[in-house]
Amino acid sequence: MASTLSKTTISFTTLPSSSPSPKPLLRFAPFSIPNTPSRSQRRSLRISAALSDTAAAAEPFASRFALDEPRKGADILVEALERQGVTDVFAYPGGASMEIHQALTRSAAIRNVLPRHEQGGVFAAEGYARSSGLPGVCIATSGPGATNLVSGLADAMLDSVPLVAITGQVPRRMIGTDAFQETPIVEVTRSITKHNYLVLDIDDIPRIVNEAFFLATSGRPGPVLIDIPKDIQQQLAIPRWDQSIRLPGYTARLPKSPNENLLEIIVRFLLESKKPVLYVGGGCLNSSEELRRFVELTGVPVASTLMGLGAYPVGDEKSLQMLGMHGTVYANYAVDKCDLLLAFGVRFDDRVTGKLEAFASRAKIVHIDIDSAEIGKNKQPHVSVCADLKLALRGINRLLESRGLGKKLDFRGWREELNEQKKRFPLSYKTFEEEICPQYAIEVLDELTNGDAIVSTGVGQHQMWAAQFYKYKRPRQWLTSGGLGAMGFGLPAAMGAAVANPGAVVVDIDGDGSFMMNVQELATIKVEKLPVKILLLNNQHLGMVVQWEDRFYKSNRAHTYLGDPSNENAIFPNMLKFADACGIPAARVAKKGELRGAMQKMLDTPGPYLLDVIVPHQEHVLPMIPSNGTFQDVITEGDGRQSY
């Protein structure tokens, strides 16, 4: 494949490493398209056409233009998106991007879901991508429109979400003159995108769009930005659709098939182990079937990161649920006591490891990851495989099956030890008389939806409770901002998921602080008729910061109260009025006995719905391992009703 590619003209940005390294490494690795919901099945990625004339010939594209008909650059861009199989974009217009919007009105294939803020648009594109496995597409104008995408791009970079962001730019002759609404968005986003482009030649549009989708979806997925000056959008040209991508340096560095000898060593480690544990992350989302087969063959218990929830069914008997700062006691116990840590599709994040020296200190570590930059970055493994995890797991499973080795593995004693920990330290919570515990609200939602809903969240306590108390059954069911921790993510992400998965139950479990940050998207879900259900856990505070104030700052409140100080008995602001302003039905519930009925009504009501659930601000997310702590430091008791 590489031999057919011509010389590249792009440069790559190296990423910083926290450990010394003789040379910088790049983020990259192989790609596989996961099973996706019904709407996504109707949209097939066509990036292979950039590499294969056969693929292009097998699936001819019907253009609305004649082959030799000149058309605007904006129309070339939109047709390039159509050729990628794009059916939905999240685009907010402005002066430098209005030509693109005019072209979108001429497309019969692409629907624009109009967000009410560019940040809402990029988070919606993320929700689309996270829930479907396909690249999300967002479009914004120059200047403030482009800079409003920054948080979403950083979020997609940290959580490895395939995203193509397109921005309008001032005309080429005005670049660098501090023109109206000019920002150098390529420079602004260089370190928070996998790659970005400034289009300076209209003839490059077809190739650049091909490359952008290939980069966003191959290897370790991530965001790619395309910045297009307005004069290029207006210029006329006849596009050449047969241009090959020009990324020889990138494609040459994509990991190859996993080394069979290394897979043999991993199997040998398994045979020698008495207490193995799987530590699985977001890199497992495309390999869920292979992961389940591996667990079926070996009986190894599974602990998941925040990003990996759903890759293995949370409710399964071999699941230890989430590990890390707010993970279960038994998941963290397993990692602390194990003799073999199988780290699959993870990056040893600080919220998981705590004090690195003490993390899995008794274990041999096997690290399989698609990104070579993550191997040994934080924790040095005994065996590492830089490869597509799907291929690696298939290889390991094949070895286990062909030699009947699964029958030789017996970890029942180890699982019984962990089951004792489950009995001693179950996820639990205390009651607040007739007040509604937030954990109870999520348990009721799990029960009423049979664990089948697509769940998005904002960031904070509600996010952790949603991770702990909803039993995710499958990958891409759980959408949350993990690495960046971006408040305001929940509602627009649910919006994107609803677009990608028509007919699915989509619930935004949100906190009042996070919800307020993108509350304007209520207008979008109403106008677009998106049946997003909002379960708002309203405690009138920035709950997670309050918890840290309680634990480490003697409960001194430093601007964490979100209500009206002049009337603390009132619920402020009145979230029901926000919903009413957008014509969305809403209700408030404050007593435990009324919750189930109110939630059932929310789920039964057609279209969007907001349920404002008033919860006590004194509740804490437990268990909790303090930052840079160890398993021995785990906190399992207490809340804001007592002093520390």
Burial 616-637 (b: 16+ CB within 10 A, else e): bbbbbbbbbbeeeebbeebeee
- C-alpha to C-alpha distance for 100 and 448, rounded to whole angstroms: 43
* 635 domain-assigned: no
Same domain for 127 and 233, yes or no, is yes
Q: Is residue 155 part of a domain?
A: yes
Q: What pLDDT score does 537 carry?
A: 98
> How many distinct structural domains can be found in the chain?
3
Check pLDDT > 90 for residue 267: yes
Q: What is the pLDDT of residue 407?
A: 87
Say which of 79, 82, 118, 619 is annotated catalytic: 118
In a domain, 430, yes or no: no
> CB under 8 Å to 447, separation ≥6 — which residues?
none
pLDDT in tens, 303-346: 999 999 999 999 999 999 999 999 999 999 999 999 999 999 99
Task: Please indicate, yes or no, whether residues 488 and 611 belong to a single structural domain of this protein.
Answer: yes
Catalytic residue among 102, 181, 243, 520: 181
Instruction: Give the closest residue to 85 by CA, choosing from 500, 479, 502.
Output: 500
Of the candidates 61, 65, 180, 552, the residue annotated as catalytic is 180
Shared domain check, 401 and 484: no
DSSP-derived letter for residue 219 is: S
Q: In terms of domains, do 222 and 270 share one?
A: no
Residue 310 lies in a domain: yes
pLDDT band per the 50, 70, 90 thresholds, residue 217? very high
Say if 593 falls within a structural domain: yes
**Same domain, yes or no, for 477 and 573?**
yes
Q: What is the average pLDDT value for the chain, to the nearest integer?
A: 92
The dihedral over CA atoms of 589, 590, 596, 599, expressed in degrees to the nearest 10, equals 30
pLDDT (mean) for 127-141: 98
Mean pLDDT along residues 47-60 = 47
Q: Residue 35 — φ and ψ, nearest 5°?
A: -65, 135
Catalytic residue among 307, 516, 517, 544: 544
Last residue of a domain, one of 253, 277, 301: 253
Q: For residue 12, name the pLDDT band (cuts at 50, 70, 90).
A: very low
Tell whether 115 and 264 lie within a shared domain: no
**Both 84 and 195 in a single domain?**
yes
pTM for this predicted structure:
0.91
Q: How far is Cα 480 from Cα 305, in angstroms, rounded to an integer? A: 12
What is the average pLDDT across 568-589? 97
pLDDT tens column, 166-199: 999 999 999 999 999 999 999 999 999 999 999 9
**Same-domain status, 460 and 417:** no
Which tokens is 11 given?
A: 């440069």
Is 169 tagged catalytic? no
d(CA 120, CA 122): 6
Q: Are residues 306 and 237 in the same domain?
A: no
Cis status, amide bond into 573, omega within 30 of 0: yes
CATH number at residue 225: 3.40.50.970
293 and 240 in a common domain: no
Given 397, 424, 451, the domain boundary residue is 424
Q: Please indicate whether residue 230 is annotated as part of the active site.
A: yes
425 has catalytic annotation: no
Q: Say if 391 falls within a structural domain.
A: yes
| Of the candidates 120, 468, 377, 410, the residue with the CA atom closest to the CA atom of residue 276 | 410
pLDDT the model gives residue 43: 54
Judge if 408 and 478 occupy the same domain.
no
Domain boundary, last residue among 424, 450, 479? 424
The yes-or-no verdict on residue 23 having pLDDT over 90 is: no
Q: Is the pLDDT of residue 161 over 50?
A: yes
- 306 inside domain: yes
pLDDT at residue 38 is higher than 50: no
Question: 342 and 377 in one domain?
Answer: yes
* Domain extent at residue 366: 260-424
Q: Identify whether 103 is part of a domain.
A: yes
The average pLDDT across 564-592 equals: 97
CATH number of the domain enclosing 371: 3.40.50.1220
CA atoms within 13 A on the CB side of 608: 26
